């Protein structure tokens, strides 16, 4: 099924023409005013809706039509849409193709590593491909070693409004490995006059591999340990960073991979050498029609991957799954905002009674301070997801257990907190809910002064998030006990 661009534009035009009746700031349902005041919030910064998922009847609400930053709550509708489009049994494939002839262990032709957008691809998956290649008797390739990323558009980062150094703001592409993060290790010189020792590693559950696509230049500097030497920390030649050791900094840090296809190819070449297969340096390319399939690695079913995304909230996984589903609907999709619009359109078309005014999802992970969604829109998407998807939701928020009977997707950005899912009341009812709190002014002020070299959020933002989590807990307790 493809959702044509003109249909999306028509839908958005129709939605914009609807008169959006602003809901009153006051809430209906259990009295939440004491909880809001106790946690130091303004009622204007909070929105929620508590509803019956079967009938759609609203039992409690506050500002249900006000747009809020969804943060990682955006992963819930993205996974629901992807499961509907691709199917729960869909598996992502990473493949090896060969051209030419094989004789006496020598492939007299090209070897091509082709990515299929597998969000769970690890070094172990590459090793599986190499075992199959070795079983064919290949020990050397005389032609080229190519990597093919044509299945998905490749991007250097998820969101340009995030720090360059944030391990959660990685590159995105059809060949993505070990969640597109690398570990940077460094050590001060053992004696005066000796250089600072640095290294970069692609790390999986079973070990680490030197990452040859990363170059780190050591120098002096104050205020930031890392500065990208190109606009986004990488270019066609790989990652290039300037490192300036700072007092008290850790000896190991996680940094984002911004050229995922190239990085994956370099790791594959390293692993091939360990397996006794000599490959030339990697270069970008495409699988020709005459190539022969040499090896195939398949991911776990999408249902398993979606459950992991909803629990661990990995941004890269959400983007890759969302992109694959959106391109199934419209192969012309090239950007994350386009992808999010295409993937959300079927749900919007299926529920014209919901006022979709103000909905703005710029990607599938929620990693954007500019995305917006209302509590009422979230309610419609939760109901559209259905029981099978809601059953995939975890009973925890960022690794901490939620109250018994609560299964939800959480979302966290500096000055934005969200939680959406289902809860079981003290009376045994199963209800749906969507909760948001955002401080627009503080977030905007933080963004205006952001230093993209620094990933840490300010202490005052951490304190704000601690209060928002307490308010979230208080409201859940109120709803569970009172309805």
pLDDT tens-digit series, residues 363-397: 999 999 999 999 999 999 999 999 999 999 999 99
How many other CB atoms sit within 10 Å of the CB of residue 427? 9
Identify the band that residue 14 occupies on the pLDDT scale cut at 50, 70 and 90.
very low
Identify the band that residue 193 occupies on the pLDDT scale cut at 50, 70 and 90.
confident
pLDDT digits 0-9 by tens, 299-346: 999 999 999 999 999 999 999 999 999 999 999 999 999 999 999 999
Q: What is the pLDDT of residue 5?
A: 46
pLDDT digits 0-9 by tens, 81-132: 999 999 999 999 999 999 999 999 999 999 999 999 999 999 999 999 999 9
- Mean local confidence (pLDDT), 272-276: 97
Identify the band that residue 191 occupies on the pLDDT scale cut at 50, 70 and 90.
confident
Alpha helices in 248-301 (DSSP H): 260-274
Nearest to 126 by CA among 178, 90, 170: 178
Query: What are the strands of the beta sheet with 106-108, ordered from one edge?
Result: 101-103, 106-108, 140-141
Identify the band that residue 7 occupies on the pLDDT scale cut at 50, 70 and 90.
very low
Contact 465, 412 (CB under 8 A): yes
Average pLDDT, the chain: 92
DSSP single-letter state for residue 313: -
Distances (CA, A) of 74 to 1, 280, 315: 22, 42, 10
Distances (CA, A) of 423 to 316, 419, 420: 28, 11, 10
Contacts of 16 (CB under 8 A, 6+ apart): 357
Q: What is the pLDDT of residue 195?
A: 87
Distances (CA, A) of 389 to 102, 309, 407: 47, 12, 11
Q: What is the pLDDT of residue 8?
A: 46
End-to-end CA distance of the chain: 41
Maximal CA-CA distance, the chain:
79
CA distance 62 to 67: 12
pLDDT digits 0-9 by tens, 45-76: 999 999 999 999 999 999 999 999 999 999 99
Identify the band that residue 403 occupies on the pLDDT scale cut at 50, 70 and 90.
very high
Q: Identify how many contiguous H helices and E strands the chain contains and give both numbers.
A: 12, 23
């Amino acid at each position: 099924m493809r959702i044509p661009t003109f249909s999306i534009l028509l839908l958005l035009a129709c939605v914009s023409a609807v008169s959006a009746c602003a809901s009153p700031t006051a809430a209906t349902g259990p009295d939440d005013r004491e909880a809001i005041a106790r946690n130091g919030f303004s009622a204007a910064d909070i929105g929620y809706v508590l509803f019956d998922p079967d009938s759609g009847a609203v039992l409690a609400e506050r500002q249900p039509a006000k747009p809020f930053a969804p943060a990682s709550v955006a992963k819930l509708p993205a996974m629901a849409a992807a499961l509907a489009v691709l199917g729960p049994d869909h598996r992502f494939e990473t493949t090896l193709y060969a051209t030419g002839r094989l004789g006496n262990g020598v492939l007299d032709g090209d070897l091509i590593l082709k990515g299929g957008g597998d969000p769970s691809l690890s070094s172990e998956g590459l090793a599986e491909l190499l075992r199959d290649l070795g079983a064919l008797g290949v020990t050397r390739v005389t032609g080229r070693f190519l990597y093919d990323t044509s299945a998905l558009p490749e991007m250097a980062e998820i969101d340009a409004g995030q720090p360059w150094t944030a391990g959660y703001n990685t590159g995105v592409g059809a060949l993505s490995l070990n969640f597109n993060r690398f570990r940077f290790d460094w050590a001060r010189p053992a004696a005066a006059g000796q250089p600072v020792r640095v290294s970069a590693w692609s790390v999986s559950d079973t070990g680490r591999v030197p990452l040859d696509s990363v170059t780190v230049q050591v120098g002096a500097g104050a205020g930031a340990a890392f500065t990208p030497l190109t606009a986004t920390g990488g270019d066609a030649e790989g990652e290039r960073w300037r490192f300036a050791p700072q007092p008290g900094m850790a000896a190991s840090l996680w940094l984002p991979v911004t050229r995922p296809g190239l990085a994956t190819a370099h790791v594959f070449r390293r692993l091939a050498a360990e397996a006794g297969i000599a490959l030339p340096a990697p270069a970008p390319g495409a699988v020709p029609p005459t190539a022969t399939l040499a090896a195939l690695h398949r991911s776990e079913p999408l249902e398993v991957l979606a459950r992991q995304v909803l629990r661990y909230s990995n941004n890269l996984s959400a983007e890759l799954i969302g992109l694959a589903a959106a391109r199934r609907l419209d192969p012309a999709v090239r950007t994350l905002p386009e992808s999010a619009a295409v993937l959300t359109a079927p749900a919007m078309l299926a529920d014209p009674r919901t006022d979709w005014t103000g909905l703005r999802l710029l990607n599938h992970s929620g990693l954007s301070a500019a995305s917006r969604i209302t509590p009422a829109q979230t309610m419609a998407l939760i109901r559209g997801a259905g029981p099978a998807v809601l059953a995939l939701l975890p009973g925890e928020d960022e690794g901490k257990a939620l109250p018994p009977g609560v299964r939800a997707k959480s979302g966290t950005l500096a000055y934005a907190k969200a939680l959406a899912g289902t809860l079981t009341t003290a009376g045994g009812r199963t209800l749906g809910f969507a909760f948001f709190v955002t401080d627009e002014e503080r977030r905007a002020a933080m963004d205006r002064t952001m230093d993209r070299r620094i990933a840490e959020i300010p202490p005052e933002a951490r304190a704000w998030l601690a209060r928002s989590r307490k308010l979230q807990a208080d409201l859940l307790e109120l709803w569970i006990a009172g309805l």
